[in-house]
Chains A and B, each alone.
Chain A
Amino acid sequence: MHTYAQARPSHERLVAGLGWFSLALGTAELAAPRAMARLIGIPDDPRLVNIVRAFGAREIASGLGMLTQPDHPTWAWSRLGGDAVDLAFLGSAANEESANHKRVALAAAAVAGVAALDLLCARGLQEEREQRRAAFGYIDDEVSVERAITVMRPIEEVFAFWKGYANLPRFMRHLTSVETLGENRTRWTATGPAGMAVSWDAETTVERENEWIAWRSLENADVCHHGSVRFRQAPGQRGTELHVHLQYRPPAGRLGRGIAWLFGEEPGQQIKEDLRRFKQLLETGEISLARSTDAPAAPATDRMYVEGGQA
C-alpha cells in the first residue's frame, strides 16, 4: 500500500543487528541484573542492581523500536543517548570502593564501541530520510494509498462517472460533496477523523479522456492531498481497470491517522470499500445493503462476536 517500499534503508543489517543486540542485552539485564553487575565489574548492591534492571527495560524498548520501525532514525538516536547514560553510570560506579576497575574499563570500552555504531546508524538513517523526502516529496507521516478495481463496464462510461467528481460522494463514504468552482477548480467537503468536517479546494492537473484524471489540493488547503485515477481496458472483455492513487496528510498528522485506524478507518481499507461500492453502483445500479439499519459496511474493526462458534 505504501509506495516508499523502494526506499528501504540500506542500513537494514546494521539496524537489525543493533536491534537484536539491544533486546539480548536488555533481557540479560532484566533477568540477571546481579550477574550483569558482576560482569561489568560493579558491586552488586541493591541500589546499583536496580539501575542495571532499569537499563534493561530501556534496552528492550530501543530494541523493539529498531526492529519494528527500522527506517526511523529516532531509535538509533535513543540508543546513542542510552550509551551516554551507560558511560556516565560506569564512570560513577568506578569510584565505588569494591568496583573491579579492570572490568569497568573493559565495559566502558565496549559501550564506546557500540556507541560509534549507533552514531553511524542514526546518521545514515537520518540521511536516507532526507533523501526520501527530496525524492518522493513526502515522508511517512503522509499517507499514500494505491488501490485498483475492475468494473464490468465500458471504459467511456467508467471515465464519465469519475469526470467532474460530482458522483464521488455517492460511493465515497466520507465525502459529503464535491462542487465545481470553475477553471479546473473544485471544493471538496468530507467527514474527517472523529466526525469533524473538513473542506479543501483542489485543482485538476490532468484530464486525459478515458485515460487519466489527477488533481491536487491548493496550497492553503486544510487537507494536503493529491490523487490520480488511471483507466485501462481490462484484458479479455473484463471491462475497465481503475487504478487509484491517493496521497494526503491527515488533519492531525500521525495522530489523526492513528485515531482513524482505531475507528476502523484505515485509509487503504477505506478506499477499498469505496471502490467496491463504486463497482456495485456501476455494475448493478445500486449499493448492496443487507438491512435497513445498516450503515454501509464498516470494515476492519467492526468485530463480530462468535456465539458458541467453534470456528
Chain B
Amino acid sequence: MRAACWHGRHDIHVDHVADPTILNPRDAIIRITRTAICGSDLHLYNGFIPAMKKGDIIGHEFMGEVVEVGAGVSSLRKGDRVVVPFPIACGHCEPCSRELYSLCENSNPNAWMGEQMWGYTPCGIFGYSHIMGGYPGGQAEYARVPFADVGPLKVPDELSDEQVLFLSDIFPTGFMAAEACGIRPGDVVAVWGCGPVGQFAIKSAYMLGAAKVIAIDRFPYRLRIAASQGGAETINYEQLSVSEALREMTAGRGPDHCIDAVGLEGHAPGIKGAYDKAKTMMMLETDRPVALREAIMNCRSGGTISVAGVYGGFIDKFPMGAIVNRALTIRSGQTHVHRYMRPLLERIRSGEIDPSFIITHRLSLDDVAEGYSTFSLKEDECLKVVMTP
C-alpha cells in the first residue's frame, strides 16, 4: 500500500510498504477514506519529537471502512464506516474505566520509553514516535487499529467524511480544552493560537457558555476565520500588546480562562521569541513556551490555564510565582477522544456545528510533501489539509 513515511526533518513522502495485518484478536483493519495533517504532525515534520525512525508511517487523524476484524471484535463488521480516535486505549484498565483514555496503561508497547521521558507512560498513539508506541499511522491506504472494539465510532451515512473526520482528534481536543476551563456564565476565555484546535476551542467555549472569546494569533486570515466562523474578538500580537489589549477588552479584569492552543513551537515577536529560539537551538530547552507564559501572566487571578498545545519536554522561565500567588489552575492532557466522540457527533448531527469549515486544502495522499510544506509555512492561507489516499 502507499503510506506517508517520515524520513527526517522536512522529509515526508509516500512510500510503498506492506499492508497491515491483524496481529491481535481485538484488531481491525481500516481502509482509509480520509486522513488529515494535524498541527501536532508539524512537530514531527520540524524534528521536535524524538524517537522517530526513518520509514515510520505517520498520521493520527483518519477514518474509513472496516475491511477485516479480529476474532475478539464483535461490535464492528466489514463495511462499517468509522472514525478512529487518535489515542489507543484498551478500555479495561483503571484510567480507561474512568474515561481517561489517553492515559491507558496497556496500549504503549514502549512504555519504558515514556517512563524515562515523563516518569510514567501515556497511551500509545498512531504514527506519533516510538515513545508513543511506534504504531504505524493513518496517512496511508490502510491502518491496523488495535482495541477496535473500544475505539472506532460508527458514523451515519448522511454525514460526509469531511463533517465527521475531525472527531478523531481536533474537535474533541478543542472541546476538552474549553471544558477544562469550567466556564461559568459571564466568563471571558482567551485562546492563544487560531489553528484548527484553536478554532474548535473558540466554538466549544461558546457552546459551553462563555460570554466572550478572544482569539490571539499573528496571521490575519486565521484571525478572520476566528471572527467570522467562531464569533471571537481578535488580537494580532504582532500589532498590539497582548496584555494591554486583553486588559482593555475585559475592562481590567483579565480573561477568566486562557487556552494555549499553540504548544511547543510558539512564536513571539522580538526578544521574547528570540530567547526561546536560541535556547532550543542550543538544546538548553526542548520546547518554546511563549504562548504558555503569556497565558499564565494574563489570566485573571483564580482562573484556569488550559493547555491543548503539545509540549514534549522541558521549558524554561516558567512563571510559577504567578500560579501560586494568583491561585491559577493548570489543566492539560492528551485528549480523551473516546469520551467526546458520541456527544460531539450528536452536535454535528443536530446541525449545531459543521467541523468542515476549517478545511482549506484538499489533496491526494501522493501530494503529502506539498501538504506538509504548505501547512507548515502557512502558505496560501492554509488552515487544514485533508487528504484522500
A interface residue numbers (CB < 8 A to B): 150, 152, 238-239, 269, 272-273, 276, 279-280, 283-292, 294, 296-297, 299-300, 304-311
Contacts and interface: CB of A to CB of B under 8 A. Distances in A.
A294 B144 CA distance: 14
Contacts of B26: 284-286
Contact of B25 (A269, A285, A309): A285
B79 to A, nearest CB: 24
B112 A304 contact: no
B9 A308 contact: yes
A71 to B, nearest CB: 28
Given A280-B106, A284-B147, A304 B23 contact: no
Contact of A297 (B25, B92, B109): B109
A309 B93 contact: no
24 contacts: A152-B97, A238-B94, A269-B112, A283-B92, A283-B105, A284-B91, A286-B25, A286-B26, A287-B24, A289-B109, A290-B109, A290-B133, A290-B135, A290-B136, A291-B134, A297-B109, A304-B50, A304-B51, A306-B50, A307-B9, A307-B47, A309-B51, A309-B52, A311-B50
A308 B94 contact: no
B24 A289 contact: yes
Interface residues of B, number: 45
A243 to B, nearest CB: 18
A108 B52 CA distance: 61
A307 B52 contact: yes
B251 interface: no
B90 A284 contact: yes
Given A239-B94, A292-B21, A294-B134, A284 B50 contact: no
A137 B175 CA distance: 59
Given A285-B72, A289-B24, A309 B50 contact: yes
A293 B133 CA distance: 14
Contacts of A272: 112
A309 B49 contact: yes
B111 interface: yes
B88 to A, nearest CB: 8
Contacts of A309: 47-52
A283 B53 contact: no
A269 B116 CA distance: 12
Given A280-B106, A288-B107, A309-B50, 4 more contacts: A289-B23, A290-B136, A291-B23, A311-B312
B92 A152 contact: yes
Given A289-B23, A308-B9, A310-B48, A152 B134 contact: no
A297 to B, nearest CB: 5
A307 B111 CA distance: 21
Nearest to A239: B94
A276 B121 CA distance: 12
A288 B136 contact: no
Contacts of B245: none
A306 B112 contact: no
Interface of B: 8-9, 21, 23-26, 47-54, 72, 90-94, 97, 105-113, 124, 130, 133-136, 146-147, 280-281, 283, 286, 312-313
Contacts of B51: 304, 306, 309
A310 B94 contact: no
Given A283-B90, A310-B281, A290 B124 contact: yes
Nearest to A291: B136
Nearest to B135: A290
B25 A291 contact: no
B111 A310 contact: no
A305 B47 CA distance: 12
B8 A294 contact: no
A311 B51 CA distance: 9
A173 to B, nearest CB: 13
B109 A296 contact: yes
B130 A304 contact: yes
B47 A283 contact: no
Contacts of B21: 292
Contacts of B9: 307-308
Contacts of B50: 304, 306, 309, 311
Q: Which 7 A-B pairs have the closest CB atoms?
A: A308-B9, A308-B47, A311-B286, A284-B90, A290-B134, A286-B24, A304-B51
A284 B49 contact: no
B330 to A, nearest CB: 21
A85 B96 CA distance: 67
Given A288-B146, A294-B109, A311 B49 contact: yes
Most-contacted residue by chain B among A152, A290, A294, A307 (CB, 10 A): A290
Contacts of B281: 310
A150 B95 CA distance: 12
